[in-house]
Each structure stands twice: as C-alpha cells, then as structure tokens.
Amino acid sequence: MPADLARIYDEHAQALFALALNVTRRDADARDVLQEVFGRLAARPGLLEGLENPKAFLLRLTHNQAIDLLRRRAAREKPDLAREAEASAGHPFAASARADEEEFRRALADALGVLPPEQRTVVHLKLWEQATFEDIAQVLGISPNTAASRYRYAIDKLRVQLRPLYNEIKNTWMTSNNS
C-alpha cells in the first residue's frame, strides 16, 4: 500500500465520504465512489502533483463519480425501487442523543434527499465543507453565480420544509436554558 495514498486517505476520506453519501444517499454507493477515487489515485500516483487545491480536485473527482454512479443506477433500477432504497438508507448525519435533534437530522436528511443532486451538492459544500461560492464553482465546473443561485433555491426549499421543526427545537432549547 503506497504511503502517499494512505496519507491522502487520512486527510481527505472523511470529506469525500460525506459528499459521496450525501449525493448517492447509500452507504454501499458511497463506498464504491471512494473505491473508484482511490483506485484512480493509485493508478496515477502523480495525479495530485502541482495542484494548488488538491482537496477541490478530489471533491470534484468524487462528485463526478457519484453523479456517474447515480446515472448508472437510474438506468439499472426502476425509479420506485430507487426511491424505496434511498428512503430505507441511513441518513448522512451522525446520530444524536437528543430525540428532537435526531428527529431534525432525519427530517433534514429527507429534505436534502428531495433536492436535485446539483443543489444538494452545492448545499453540502457550502455548509459542511465551508466552501466559498468560488470554491464550489471550481469543484463543480460552474460559475460562482450559478453556485450561489443553486444554494439560494435549495436553502429556500429546506427552510420551507424544516422551519416548523426548527422553531420548535429552538423554543424548546430556549425554554430549557431559561429554566
């Protein structure tokens, strides 16, 4: 096992896994994506040499692989079966000990699952990778304005779906903090 590949895995696998899981919505597919990405890196050891932002390149590679896998999956499976499989898959967020927070994370996962993959990816990169719109544009090969508009559309949809639950949690937390 090349030491360099192991180092790249330790540095970036978490971010790549989270993106792959958020796009594909299945653990097995996220693993396939990671396998493919690291397979390519192993086949071409100099792939990351000279890059200013290797993480952006790896995220782009992961995103492309995930989208490619989604297309293959769509061609292979019936839409109803795919939706059922996605619904039964585990959500991409860590489990929480608090019931209301766990409920919110499940609702957030469901709401993200309804978004088109391109909007879901932008939201993921913006919120959980702290990427700027310029970074997102670089990763996805789109303009920063397109990235920003996709983000706004997606956040508006999430806000509509999650606002009641969010307000409820916020009020509960404020009440418990006051008492």
Partner 1 sequence: MDDFEQFLKSQPMRCVPPEWRGDILAQAADASGGKPAAVVLPWWQAWLWPSPYAWGALAAAWIIIIGLNMASAQSSPNRANGKAVPSRQEFITMLDERRRLMEKIYSELNPPPVPSPSQAKLPDTPGVSLERRKLEERPFA
User: Where along the sequence are the contacts to partner 1 (CB under 8 A)?
Assistant: 1-2, 5-6, 9, 13-14, 17-18, 21-22, 27, 31, 34-35, 38-44, 64, 67-68, 71, 90, 92-94, 104-105, 108, 127-128, 155, 158-159, 162-163, 166, 170
Which one, 9 or 85, has the nearer CB to partner 1? 9
DSSP per position, 101-153: HHHHHHHHHHHHHHS-HHHHHHHHHHHHS---HHHHHHHHTS-HHHHHHHHHH
Report the C-alpha gap between 160 and 135 in whole angstroms: 27
Report the C-alpha gap between 24 and 22 in whole angstroms: 6
Which one, 59 or 108, has the nearer CB to partner 1? 108
Which one, 21 or 137, has the nearer CB to partner 1? 21
Q: How far is the CB of 15 from partner 1 (least distance, A)?
A: 9
Report the C-alpha gap between 22 and 26 in whole angstroms: 8
Which one, 80 or 91, has the nearer CB to partner 1? 91
Find all residues with CB under 8 Å of 124, minimum gap 6, and list them: 18, 19, 22, 23, 112
Q: How far is the CB of 110 from partner 1 (least distance, A)?
A: 13
Q: How far is the CB of 16 from partner 1 (least distance, A)?
A: 8
Q: How far is the CB of 77 from partner 1 (least distance, A)?
A: 18
Q: What angle do CA 93, 53, 145 make, to 5 degrees?
A: 75
125 within 8 A of 136, measured Cβ to Cβ: yes
Which one, 83 or 159, has the nearer CB to partner 1? 159
Q: How far is the CB of 63 from partner 1 (least distance, A)?
A: 11
